[in-house]
Amino acid sequence: MRYVSVGLLAMCGVLCAATADNKMDALQVAPNVYKVVFENERVRVLGFVTEPGQKWPVHSHPDSVAVSLSDYSVRNIIPGQPPTERHSKLGDVRWISATSHIGENTGATEMRGLIIELKERKP
């Protein structure tokens, strides 16, 4: 009985976490930053634009590829971890593992780019 209770609690945690992630979708949390520029059954491509000093709240991305459309500096804060700074140049392409984070444009220029979010394949 003890293992059944622990198993049910674990399953509850997984389901609650999945619901929380859905609520942190970048489009819902920061519609002033992210816009869908393309979507199909395999990917969702988000365009983003921020002004110098602009911050946006915690949100999630699945595994993604980021493409810089301008030079910019950004601070990413992953809850429970020290902040990281990234300096991107026009044309930089980076892999970003699935994460939830807070963003802040720490540079003196507008930040423009694309995030290509990968969707899970359906069996």
Domain ranges of the chain: 2-118
pLDDT tens, per residue, the chain with 123 residues: 454 343 433 333 333 343 344 459 999 999 999 999 999 999 999 999 999 999 999 999 999 999 999 999 999 999 999 999 999 999 999 999 999 999 999 999 999 999 999 998 766
Q: Which residues contact 39 (CB under 8 A, 6 or more apart)?
A: 45
pLDDT at 120: 85
pLDDT at 4: 39
Task: Judge contact between 48 and 113, C-beta under 8 A.
Answer: yes
CA 101 to chain centre: 6
Task: Give the pairing of strands 43-50 and 34-39.
Answer: antiparallel
Backbone angles phi, psi at 75, to 5 degrees: -105, 125
The tokens of 98 are what?
């699935």
CA 94/CA 80 separation, integer angstroms: 23
Cα 110 to Cα 71, 93, 98, 104: the distances in Å are 8, 18, 25, 11
Q: Which fold has domain 2-118?
A: Jelly Rolls (2.60.120)
CA 50/CA 18 separation, integer angstroms: 28
Task: Judge contact between 73 and 106, C-beta under 8 A.
Answer: yes
